[in-house]
Structure 1
Amino acid sequence: MILLDQPYVSNFLKETIAKYNFPVLDTGNVTEHGELSLLNPEEIIEKFRTNPNSRLYTNSENSINWVIKHLGFTKLPEYINVFKNKVEFRKLIQNIYPDFFFCEVGLSDLDTIKLENLPMPFIIKPSVGFLSLGVHKVLNNNDWSRVKQLIKDEFTDAKSLFPLEVVNASSFLIEEIIEGEEFAFDAYFDEKGEATVLGISKHLFASETDVSDRVYYTSKDILKTHLPQFTEFVKELGKQAGLKNFPVHVEVRLNKNGRLIPIEVNPMRFGGWCTTADLTYMATKINSYQYFLCNLKPKWEKVVEQMDDEIYSLTILDNSTGIPSEEISSFKYEALLEKFVKPLELRKIDYKIYSIFGMLFTKTPKNQFSEIEEILISDLKEFVNEN
């Protein structure tokens, strides 16, 4: 079963629902009348009462409130909380990473924190958050004043866009910097608690202080190199939390010694805004939505063998222009597409609401990787027209 909600449902997800006749509930008014055959809430509730091994996927964490309200008799609210609350997540894996520093602080405590008690530099993020809101790297004592003000400004705006279950500004997690290359991957746990990885993407950053979500990419080499280690980690994660019939989106880093350290785990979904699952399909032809809901497991050795050698990337076109969205009259999407050898799909987003111009999926030959590096560091000013 699938819950659909704001802010975005891809055509690929809708096509998957129609093709496999997956039961679906629209909790966010994101489908057109008659576009999909929809269930009513009582039908989903009854399915979970009669079949404890029922599976539920949502494209958006906006649906969390619905799950907590209507499916409180299942394990789902418990699973959601331990991952959605980043402090609870750190506590869950503390026995695996006993030397990792973290602490929780309230929003009202930001002005009274004693920096000498914290590792410097450090990361601060909301205990419950989304889309890098309120996530900042603090490099030194002088940097702390700037970051505090940024957090206060960001959460004033965010409260009007997302439910409190998604962005809760009352509590923040401070943790030590996790150095190394960053990756994101989707996975699920079956009715026995066994884990299956459904695709891996590498997260690129423009600089040491960059915490944005601008570029993710996947390839044959990434899958071949990291599948064994990531699978072992998610197996251990499932054991710690006792997960069954549950999908997750996991973000990790590999330090210079190759040790995997998790950043966070997002519950009940794959990458937000229908991103990583759709990217995985473009690169591998594995439909992650289908695989989770139908309990299928990729034959990875064969899948990787049949993949081409090109790079499949996702670019999130966040407003990094320095120009307020309300002062931008239009975005030059055609000019953007001309920068890439093979654009696969462009999703235009209402940037005046979400401060994101769109999302672009591309296929890039290895010898032209520079096109990805260029968009990674671009402030996108060349693509906007001001009022």
Structure 2
Amino acid sequence: MRADLKDNNDAAEKWALNKLADETGTAAIDICPNHVSKDLIKDLNERSASWDAIRFLLDNLPETGSIVKLLVPLQTGYIIQSDFLERRMVDCPYVVKIQCFVAPSQYIRSSTTEAFSSMSISNLLPHCYGAVVIKADSPSSAATKSASIDAELEKRIAFPWLAPGPIPRKRLALVGAGSFPKVQGYLLAAISLNISLVAFDDASHWMSDDTYGHLREEFVPLNMDVTEDMAQYIARSLQEYQKSSPERKRIDGIISVDEHLHSIIAVAATHLGFNTSPPESVSLAQNKFRTRQLDNNVFCRLVRTPEELEKLISEDGQHFSYPLIVKPSKGWSSEGVWKVANEQELREKVPLLWRDSFTAWHGRDIVIETYIDGPEVDANMVLVDGEIAFFEVNDDFPSAGDGIALEANTRVPNFVETSNMLPSFLPPFELASLRQRLHELALAAGFRNAVLHIEAKLRNSSCHYALAPDSGGLIDLQLKTPAATTTTPNDVFLLEINPRAPGWQEVDATARAYGVSYYSIILLNALADKDRILALSRPFQGGSQYNMQLLFVSAQKGGIYKSGDICTKVLQQDPQNPSQEEQLGPHVVQCANLMEDGEEVLDPRTGQVYGNFIAFFLVISRESRKEAIRIGQEIERRVRQLTDGF
């Protein structure tokens, strides 16, 4: 559909309005260089500067080969998340700038395509809810790229981004705010969802500083020492806070980003009548031995003392089928996880987990169980009323402890994360098996409304990790035989259920690849806002927008880190060898240094690996999975080189 450009002196100039798919509730209007006149600029400058769309157009007036694509609503309702456009258009090809012009929970009134087509640009701008800037190489390519972006919009915003009724402002208590990288995503999501956050933490916590006042409504000092009655203490503290001004300080829910507090927070939420998973379910999930009882089809024993270990060996040792896995029952971050090949190694590794430095964090309960072969996966699940609203499976590449990776002989043989690939390479029938069985186990554990991070293995899979053909030494999942994709029986083996989102790096990976933010969903789950959860759990049509490797590079020795900003060093071009160094920057959409100069790093051979990561990188390829893996391998090689093998 086309309409006269009434602001332009040349009446022959036209601009186009394109109605997108109905589910998007949107029409798109391209403003090209020949649509911009001096009269239009003068008119826009004389109008209210408070209109974000006007300011955006003035700041991004098209130059040769570029387009500003304005978005107008064809549906009426209330904005469910004010930055949904920026979130959903992330990493979109050809797009150089994105902006929403709406406030949290703002009411949006639609119009018809006919009405919008009859307006001048000046009169159209106040109706725009957002815009994107497209950079084209030349005017001749502009139309092709504009059509491509319209197709991307139909894949990305074809979900209910408007609610039929008003969305009142809510308030959450954030108890245990953690580090800035872990909580930043929640803070930004809360603002866009019209949710206030009140932070409760130790008086010296970084969020107490007024510098971060724009990210939270208030900071309330709270003693965070873990005690037996901590849940009751938290509940009382929140009740006292609300009583100080009942009308102004009503709290509607409670969350925490500190994993060791999750069962405590669930109990406190129950006392206060807030939405939460059952405390007994959260407690079960945090205990690996109890979780194993959900599906106890392998050898699994619990020992708490050297005497119990000796008794187990004397009574059952002759029946052990090595290798075995040894791990803390309440561990995390792969701390203290060992694969033992014989009785001697079993006697060596278990006592290491009873050192004071371990028991202070993980307790004395040690699980000894069968090692299961097969591809490992990270499966992330959003449950609403017991039904799956979103489910994804990522391939968790072998750690050195598995003894599969080529670099295992040069790496510490532990189970520290190496890399994740998404989407999974596993065939559809195996993904369906994972979805069905892990859903059954989540319900058996008592979860009905939750975000769950589940780790599992697939026994008798049709795939295994091996050298990829013609890959130059890359390891990836490969089909064992062509027939195995349809005839091989497979079995899902649960490693653990975590009643939380995955680590913040994986949360960011999913948000970029699929357009689904666990930060937003967890906040809404604490408020039992199921309608918005269902809306924001809708991934891009067609699935992941690219192949992505979530690459972790961990320290292989203890000592003092002295390599500085390793991400910048890895990604910058070597000026002395510009032709020999591959340009990696365009393939890295996010990265972060996880160590600082002068930081002391424990020797990973002790099993204490918390804080062991040097850096992480989100590596993408729109061409192939193999390319993403190859680039990730080159990034890790450069990190090792630049840190002198640290």
Q: Which residue matches 1:108?
A: 306
CA shift in 2, pair 1:128/1:300, >3 Å: closer
Separation in 2 of the partners of 1:92 and 1:100?
11
Following superposition, the deviation at residue 241 of structure 1 comes to 2.2
Contact 1:286 1:298 in 2 (8 A): no
Structure 1 residue 204 corresponds to structure 2 residue 397: yes
1:63 to 238, 261, 273: 261
What percent of counterpart residues are identical? 15
Structure 1 residue 254 corresponds to structure 2 residue 458: yes
Contact 1:4 1:24 in 2 (8 A): no
1:189 to 379, 383, 396: 383
1:36 to 197, 202, 215: 215
SS across alignment from 1:280: helix
Higher relative contact order (CA 8 A, sep 6+): 1
Separation in 2 of the partners of 1:327 and 1:289?
31
1:334 to 568, 576, 587: 568
Following superposition, the deviation at residue 122 of structure 1 comes to 0.7
Contact 2:281 2:445 in 1 (8 A): yes
Contact 1:252 1:263 in 2 (8 A): yes
SS across alignment from 1:297: helix
Following superposition, the deviation at residue 335 of structure 1 comes to 3.2
CA shift in 2, pair 1:363/1:59, >3 Å: farther
Following superposition, the deviation at residue 67 of structure 1 comes to 1.2
Q: Which residue matches 1:16?
A: 189
Following superposition, the deviation at residue 12 of structure 1 comes to 3.5
SS across alignment from 1:187: strand
CA shift in 2, pair 1:88/1:222, >3 Å: same
Contact 1:57 1:247 in 2 (8 A): no
Q: Which residue matches 2:7?
A: none
Separation in 2 of the partners of 1:25 and 1:176?
45
Contact 2:377 2:394 in 1 (8 A): yes
In the alignment of these two chains, the number of paired residues is 364
Q: Which residue matches 2:177?
A: 5
Separation in 2 of the partners of 1:206 and 1:61?
23
CA shift in 2, pair 1:299/1:334, >3 Å: closer
Following superposition, the deviation at residue 250 of structure 1 comes to 0.4
Following superposition, the deviation at residue 261 of structure 1 comes to 0.9
Structure 1 residue 143 corresponds to structure 2 residue 345: yes
After TM superposition, the structure 1 stretch with the greater mean CA deviation from structure 2, 243-252 or 67-76, is 67-76
Separation in 2 of the partners of 1:85 and 1:247?
18
Q: Structure 1, residues 85-143: CA drift from partner, whole Å, max 9, x if none?
A: 1111112333xxxx321110115347625143433111111010110001111122343
CA shift in 2, pair 1:243/1:65, >3 Å: closer
Q: What TM-score do you get using the length of structure 2 for normalisation? A: 0.50
Q: Which residue matches 2:554?
A: 318
CA shift in 2, pair 1:137/1:35, >3 Å: farther
Following superposition, the deviation at residue 331 of structure 1 comes to 5.5
Following superposition, the deviation at residue 318 of structure 1 comes to 1.9
Structure 1 residue 89 corresponds to structure 2 residue 89: no
1:303 to 527, 535, 540: 540
Separation in 2 of the partners of 1:5 and 1:266?
19
CA shift in 2, pair 1:290/1:255, >3 Å: same
Q: Which residue matches 2:54?
A: none
RMSD: 3.7
After TM superposition, the structure 1 stretch with the greater mean CA deviation from structure 2, 100-109 or 324-333, is 324-333
Unaligned runs of 5+ in 2: 1-171, 221-233, 242-251, 404-413, 461-488, 573-581, 601-610
Separation in 1 of the partners of 2:260 and 2:538?
36
CA shift in 2, pair 1:222/1:363, >3 Å: farther
Following superposition, the deviation at residue 151 of structure 1 comes to 3.7
Contact 2:263 2:283 in 1 (8 A): no
Separation in 2 of the partners of 1:137 and 1:14?
39
Separation in 1 of the partners of 2:506 and 2:427?
14
Q: Which residue matches 2:279?
A: 77
Q: Which residue matches 2:432?
A: 228
SS across alignment from 1:305: coil
Separation in 1 of the partners of 2:236 and 2:549?
38
Following superposition, the deviation at residue 199 of structure 1 comes to 2.9
Contact 1:127 1:171 in 2 (8 A): yes
CA shift in 2, pair 1:58/1:148, >3 Å: same
Structure 1 residue 360 corresponds to structure 2 residue 564: no
CA shift in 2, pair 1:44/1:179, >3 Å: farther
Q: Which residue matches 1:175?
A: 369
After TM superposition, the structure 1 stretch with the greater mean CA deviation from structure 2, 347-356 or 114-123, is 347-356
After TM superposition, the structure 1 stretch with the greater mean CA deviation from structure 2, 15-24 or 27-36, is 27-36
Separation in 2 of the partners of 1:5 and 1:110?
38
Separation in 2 of the partners of 1:118 and 1:147?
16
After TM superposition, the structure 1 stretch with the greater mean CA deviation from structure 2, 364-373 or 114-123, is 364-373
Following superposition, the deviation at residue 158 of structure 1 comes to 4.9
Unaligned runs of 5+ in 1: 48-53
Partner amino acid, structure 2, of 1:101 = F
Following superposition, the deviation at residue 23 of structure 1 comes to 4.2
CA shift in 2, pair 1:57/1:85, >3 Å: same
Separation in 1 of the partners of 2:199 and 2:329?
27
Separation in 1 of the partners of 2:593 and 2:214?
20
Following superposition, the deviation at residue 189 of structure 1 comes to 2.8
Structure 1 residue 371 corresponds to structure 2 residue 630: yes
Q: Which residue matches 1:271?
A: 502
Contact 1:282 1:312 in 2 (8 A): no
CA shift in 2, pair 1:22/1:93, >3 Å: farther
After TM superposition, the structure 1 stretch with the greater mean CA deviation from structure 2, 209-218 or 365-374, is 365-374
Contact 1:121 1:177 in 2 (8 A): yes
Separation in 1 of the partners of 2:641 and 2:429?
37
Q: Which residue matches 2:443?
A: 239
Structure 1 residue 349 corresponds to structure 2 residue 349: no
Separation in 2 of the partners of 1:198 and 1:290?
16
CA shift in 2, pair 1:343/1:100, >3 Å: same
Partner amino acid, structure 2, of 1:271 = P
Q: Structure 1, residues 124-174: CA drift from partner, whole Å, max 9, x if none?
A: 11010110001111122343355346545xx55456xxxx5xx32311111
SS across alignment from 1:144: helix
Following superposition, the deviation at residue 259 of structure 1 comes to 1.5
After TM superposition, the structure 1 stretch with the greater mean CA deviation from structure 2, 249-258 or 283-292, is 283-292
Following superposition, the deviation at residue 304 of structure 1 comes to 4.8
Q: What TM-score do you get using the length of structure 1 for normalisation? A: 0.79
